[in-house]
């Protein structure tokens, strides 16, 4: 199976449309979405409906959960964007987000938005210690997550040691069967690794490989929409810088 893994779309219509076109062009067999369809971006309803139309495996992120929650633990800009997003969504759209599960599995791969260690606590996997907690909580050979907005790859060897790997964009990276793996996919709609191109991953379960991909899109057009919506200026600037 060639599985396209998308996460952290964040209401970015231009990025999602570009990635879905790329996914189709690369002949993927299935799509999985790891949450945060909404939040930050100017087109939450469109992105939600597009994912819902795909009828693919989809889980809940913290921004999705905040639509019917308080968002009290979020940053000021995130909370302002969530308040704006709530007003854009129809009741059935909010209900659909609320009903999404926190975790899922597809062909033995574990899917979670943040960390398998405590899915509802929204732990950021940003280091070998946090990756260790996630890998020890998940028994899958490959666990896929988002939340961080930066592509990362970790492995757990037979001695129980976790090591971070250098992510090579556009190159197939082998997932050795003697190890268990954790891939942090990066963000479709708001990358934070100093590259504004949309990030996603392609997992080939037949070849035991993962390829971290970047797809260019018109981030300037999305930034203009952010400003037109009256959302915080920092959210527009972040799209342009990828930081």
| pTM, full prediction | 0.97
For the chain, the straight-line distance linking the first and the last C-alpha, in angstroms and rounded, comes to: 33
Question: Taking the CA of residue 10 as centre, how many other CA atoms within 13 Å lie in the half-sphere pointing to its CB?
Answer: 28
- 193-235 pLDDT, tens digit each: 999 999 999 999 999 999 999 999 999 999 999 999 999 999 9
Number of Cβ within a 10 Å radius of residue 206: 8
Q: What is the mean predicted confidence (pLDDT) over 6-15?
A: 99
pLDDT computed for residue 64 by the predictor: 99
Asked if 62 and 174 touch (Cβ cutoff 8 Å), the reply is: no
pLDDT interval class at 51 (50, 70, 90): very high
pLDDT computed for residue 185 by the predictor: 98
- Sequence ranges of the domains in the chain: 2-241
Asked if 62 and 40 touch (Cβ cutoff 8 Å), the reply is: no
- 55-85 pLDDT, tens digit each: 999 999 999 999 999 888 999 999 999 999 9
pLDDT computed for residue 72 by the predictor: 84
CATH T-level topology, domain 2-241:
Purple Acid Phosphatase; chain A, domain 2 (3.60.21)
Residue with the two structure tokens 């939600």: 48
Measured distance CA(199)–CA(119) in Å, rounded: 22
pLDDT computed for residue 156 by the predictor: 97
- 141-193 pLDDT, tens digit each: 999 999 999 999 999 999 999 999 999 999 999 999 999 999 999 999 999 99
pLDDT above 90: percentage of residues in the chain: 98
Q: What is the mean predicted confidence (pLDDT) over 120-132?
A: 98
Higher per-residue pLDDT: 9 or 71: 9
Beta bridge pairs of residue 215 = 198
Nearest one of 158, 165, 156, 32 to 100, comparing CA atoms: 32
- Is 2 a residue whose pLDDT tops 90? yes
pLDDT computed for residue 70 by the predictor: 83
- Is 111 a residue whose pLDDT tops 90? yes
Q: Which two tokens stand for residue 191?
A: 């990358």
């Amino acid at each position: 199976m060639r599985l396209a893994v998308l996460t952290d779309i964040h209401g970015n219509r231009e990025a999602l449309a570009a990635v879905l076109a790329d996914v189709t062009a690369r002949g993927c067999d299935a799509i999985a979405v790891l949450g945060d369809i909404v939040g930050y971006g100017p087109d939450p309803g469109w992105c939600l409906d597009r994912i819902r139309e795909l009828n693919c495996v989809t889980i809940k992120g913290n921004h999705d959960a905040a639509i019917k929650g308080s968002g009290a633990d979020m940053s000021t800009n995130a909370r302002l964007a969530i308040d704006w997003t709530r007003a854009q969504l129809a009741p059935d759209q909010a209900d659909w987000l609320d009903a999404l599960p926190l975790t899922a599995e597809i062909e033995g791969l574990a899917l979670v938005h943040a960390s398998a260690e405590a899915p509802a606590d929204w732990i950021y996997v940003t280091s070998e210690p946090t990756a260790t907690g996630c890998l020890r909580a998940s028994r899958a050979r490959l666990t896929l997550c988002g939340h961080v907005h930066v592509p990362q790859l970790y492995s757990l060897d037979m001695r129980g040691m976790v090591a971070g790997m250098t992510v090579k964009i556009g190159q197939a990276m082998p997932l050795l069967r003697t190890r268990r793996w954790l891939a942090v996919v990066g963000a479709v709609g708001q990358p934070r690794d100093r590259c504004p191109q949309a990030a996603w991953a392609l997992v080939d379960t037949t070849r035991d490989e993962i390829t971290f991909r970047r797809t260019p899109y018109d981030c300037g057009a999305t930034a203009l929409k952010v400003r037109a919506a009256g959302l915080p200026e920092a959210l527009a600037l972040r799209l342009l810088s990828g930081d």
